[in-house]
Chain A
Amino acid sequence: MSEFQGVLTDRPKVLNLGLKTIGDSVASFTNLYPIDWKPPGWGNSDLAQIVATLYPDSTPGTVAEKVLQANQTALNRMLDSQPVLVDIQPAIEVLPGMNSNTILHAGPPVEWSDMCGPMKGAVIGALIYEERAKNEEEAAALAASGQIEFAPCHSRNAVGPMAGIISPSMPVWVVKNNTFGNLAFATMNEGWGRTLRFGAFDQDVINRLVWMENTLAPAMKLVIDKLEGIDLKSMIAQALQMGDECHNRDIAATNLFFKMVTPVLVESNFPLEKIQQVVRFLGEHEHFFLNLAMAACKATLVAAQDIPYCSMVTAIARNGVEVGITVSGLGNQWFTDTATVAQGLYFPGYSEEDANPDIGDSAVTETGGIGAFVMGSSPAIVQFVGGTPEDALAMTREMYHITLGKNNSYRLPALSFVGSPTGIDIIRVADTGILPIINTGIAHKEPGHGLVGAGIVRAPQGCFEKALRAFGEKYTDGSLIKVEDR
């Protein structure tokens, strides 16, 4: 019996896209299922056609089938990844292509003259910390001189929250993806308040960075070596069960880390005074784990990079001026759009007028299937936008519409332990018009004020429009159904 033949004897079961009158007539005689159709590609018919051409199809030899296979490969690599914290080393020792003049920053590429306030402040602080400049004026002059090579953290498989500045002497976590052998890197989190990542560069900030290099990093190195690595995937999975989403809320993960680290430290022959400092530092900072979660997600995503025909997003990153994304099948090319200010709550004395547009590499968590994507199991976070736990669940459910699959390790208790929505697909994003949601801290637009609030933001539409057009240009030929050479 042919597929159509079946409809004649088994009665049509119908979706109606378009005129309501057609659906109304159908509904009186058979099952009509609801759909709120909107033009795909945000109303751009060229994008709608690319979506249709690439829409999953198992017909051998079609470009759609190749995309289907490539995306399955990418998802499998993400799910199979085992990010493990294996080391902590100075950036210049471990980051590919890092030299004494390199400064890495968050987001897509940006030159000194175009950087936002907090990023400029963080660059100034980093140059003072590196003893390349004595004060703000000297540092700014050096940054503008052309001597310093600025590059995105992502270009070195690294990630940094907010301004995301990594300078050569800074210790960085080394996270190894044990399954695929690739590495990813991130700085250590400095804690709350006036910190380099928000563009503060006063003496306290510099002193803390020096202490982190000289005391915290050796302590962490000792612990990592003693434990022979720390499995970050299990730690994140456990923290999700405890109400973290491991982006804006890391308190459970930080506590788990603290619980694992402290006994090793106190049993070691590390100087007691330094152990006390380290334990106090870790004990005071709820967000210490954030950078580890970021590096774990980055190590996972690197394994899914550069797969031909793959439409999965491998990075979403913001530099405070622009938001950029990269796509596995399109290599290292950034697709950018203007960064917007997050919708959120502000600390006393601050308002949206003080806010810098969205900044930081921390959206790597959402790209990796946690963060705002698992908000349904982290209801405390949703209050940032004045929502309810139901809103958090709805946002998580919405993200399943734009992802390739469900995570095998990161699960949501509030949704019967279903796996988190994992692997953002630019085709699905354009098809549904649903933009990825990101939880984020809000930096003051002037350097040095620090965190002024936190909230929720969507990755901008323009990034996905540009990426899908480029994907269409590379992999389709303008015809509706493209058959590849076999």
Chain B
Amino acid sequence: MSAEVIIKSNMYQDSVALMRISSQISKLPGIIQAAVVMGTPQNKNILEESGLFKPELMAAKPSDLIIVFDAEDPASGRKAIKLVDKLLESPEPGSKSTVKADRNSVSIRTAIQAHPEVNMIAISVPGEFAAAEALKALKSNANVFLFSDNVSIADEVQLKKYAWSKDLILMGPDCGTAYIDEVPFGFVNRVRRGNIGIVGSSGTGIQELMTQIHRLGGGISHVIGTGSHDLSDDVAGLSTKSAIIALEADEATETIVLVSKPASKTVMEHILEALARTGKKLIACLQGFALEKDYGNIQFANTLQQAACLAVNTTVKPPVCDFADVRVQGKFIRGLFSGGTLASEAYMLLGKEVGPVAFNIADPWHSEYHGHFILDMGSDEFTVGKPHPIIDLNDRLSMFKKVAADKETGVILMDLVLGFSAHEDPASELAPYIRQFCGTNGPKVVINLLGTELDFQGYDSQASKLLEAGAIVLNNNSDAVFTALQLVAGAGKGGE
């Protein structure tokens, strides 16, 4: 063992800096213990207690720097002295910062303090935290796009009443779509700017509408989603009312389209009365609503496609499908949807034409399902703890495989949703399944490809991939449904 004692006279260093140096020296290989301290009486006591004190240190003055250590061998000692000299000369260059100096905000409060101009907060956090974050956002005077679901109705009612009292809007919970002054929130397609405003409690219903309006040459001012429970008796359409009031006052909006899934009759009547008073050009597409009287100038549409045509002020095109020469073996249509409104519209259109159709919203999916059926795979039944099927196709693909193997299946009816927040290349996920499971005697795949040529996935390239795989591709939901009907009408007949 070798001991080293060095006294550097009149060399003051801050005690904390010296503690750092001591600890670095002690970590060197071959160093048993080490100390670099000023020669004060207290420090000499400390050295004595730790067994490092050497007689020659008696002479050290408080203004002297003491370097003392026990090393296993002289070579280690020399290395230690070198390091001490280096560290005393200058602290470690560019010591790494352990805390990010300008870290981002971690809470709404601090983010708003830093950026008081924030007026909209998008929330897609896990459901158990969603209501709390939405309340904080509203308290901070921001409007809320609440993508999260699994928020209780009681919380939704409290939040919406609170938002109403502050002239703010809560879009959601379970709101998939909004498009405010060309800013996309959630699942939404890129469309041209125009004078048609959309209010809706349904996500894909809105997407279908806005893409059809775009396709027909029209344009969109704003799209305001209200969340899937907004038109229930409990919530009483508070966000829908806020949205109508805002669009009424908005100069850019000349036409308002209201779209909804089945809703409370009382609430819907109340909303329609409010809508009729706006003085704008008005269209409503309300699934499952039995019209009993007129509401001013509101025009009612039976399908989303018709609503788009009315909004753009064109006539409804007859179904363009003609697949008379295509033959399928199975007799039944099986719908695998990612969009709830699209599934619901398909269910209603089929019901009118072919009689009983099973639908998982009315009767949750089970293995006894037979005949025609429609599955809304974006419903809670399929999505708890999983990404939405517009983002992740895996669940739908495994169901596809199951349904395709069923000899009774004549047509697999699907939607494929493009746009912001959606899967970046859904056609490439689906195409191999179509090739593998829908051969000559297998079912035919009919797809409503929902999107515009402005969407980042590329509408035409997505369509090509599906067509090459053997699918029939339509650009709207009702045409897809009618095509499927036409195919199964001729089921089992002819063929090669």
Query: A-side interface residues toward B, CB under 8 Å?
Result: 1-19, 21-23, 25-26, 29-31, 33-40, 45, 48-49, 51-53, 55-57, 59, 64, 192-193, 284, 345-350, 380-381, 383-388, 390-391, 393-395, 397-398, 401, 428, 431-434, 449, 453-454, 479-481
Contacts and interface: CB of A to CB of B under 8 A. Distances in A.
Contacts of B290: none
Interface string B424-437: 00000000000000
A42 B182 CA distance: 36
Contact of A401 (B107, B148, B184): B107
Contacts of B20: 345, 383, 386
B142 A49 contact: no
B125 A33 contact: no
A334 B141 CA distance: 36
6 contacts: A4-B246, A7-B120, A10-B119, A49-B131, A380-B17, A383-B16
Interface in B31-78: 33-35, 37, 42, 45-47, 49-52
Contacts of B166: 3
A481 B155 CA distance: 9
A453 B46 CA distance: 11
Contacts, number: 274
Contacts of B112: 15
Contact of B141 (A3, A21, A23): A3
3 tightest A-B contacts by CB? A349-B50, A18-B124, A348-B35
B128 to A, nearest CB: 4
B121 A49 contact: no
B460 interface: no
Contacts of B142: 15
B169 A4 contact: yes
Contacts of A398: 99, 103
Given A15-B142, A51-B132, A52-B136, 10 more contacts: A7-B119, A8-B222, A18-B148, A40-B129, A45-B132, A52-B132, A348-B47, A391-B98, A398-B99, A428-B109
Contacts of A2: 167, 242, 245-246, 249
Interface of B: 14, 16-17, 19-20, 22-23, 26, 33-35, 37, 42, 45-47, 49-52, 95-101, 103-112, 114-115, 117-126, 128-129, 131-133, 135-137, 139, 141-143, 147-148, 154-155, 158-159, 162, 165-169, 180-186, 188, 222, 242, 245-247, 249-250, 252, 391, 420-421
Contacts of A388: 95-97
Contacts of A401: 106-107, 109-110
A347 B51 CA distance: 12
Given A7-B120, A19-B421, A391-B98, A55 B110 contact: no
Contact of A349 (B33, B104, B136): B33
Contact of B120 (A14, A349, A434): A14
Which of A4, A59, A398 neighbours the largest number of chain B CB atoms within 10 Å of its CB? Answer: A4
Contacts of B118: 13-15, 33
B132 A33 contact: no
Nearest to A346: B23
Contacts of B121: 14-17
A395 B98 CA distance: 10
A342 to B, nearest CB: 14
B167 A4 contact: yes
Contacts of B104: 34-36
B112 to A, nearest CB: 8
Contacts of B421: 19, 21-22, 25
Interface secondary structure of A, over-half rule: mixed
Contacts of B105: 33-36
Contact of B100 (A52, A64, A284, A394): A394
B184 A345 contact: no
Contact of A15 (B22, B108, B148): B108
B100 A349 contact: no
A17 B185 CA distance: 12
A5 B246 contact: yes
B5 to A, nearest CB: 13
B155 A25 contact: no
A15 B111 contact: yes
Contacts of A480: 131-132, 135, 154-155, 158-159
A29 B98 contact: no
Contact of A391 (B16, B99, B120, B154): B99
A2 B168 CA distance: 7
Given A22-B186, A49-B131, A11 B249 contact: no
A17 B98 CA distance: 25
A35 B97 contact: no
Nearest to B422: A21
A349 B51 contact: yes
Contacts of A39: 125-126, 129
A349 B52 contact: yes
B122 A348 contact: no
A55 B137 CA distance: 10
Nearest to A350: B50
Nearest to B42: A192
Nearest to A64: B139
Contacts of B147: 18-19, 22
A11 B182 CA distance: 8
B97 A390 contact: yes
Given A34-B105, A64-B139, A52 B167 contact: no
Nearest to A11: B181
A18 B173 CA distance: 14
B159 A349 contact: no
A440 B474 CA distance: 70
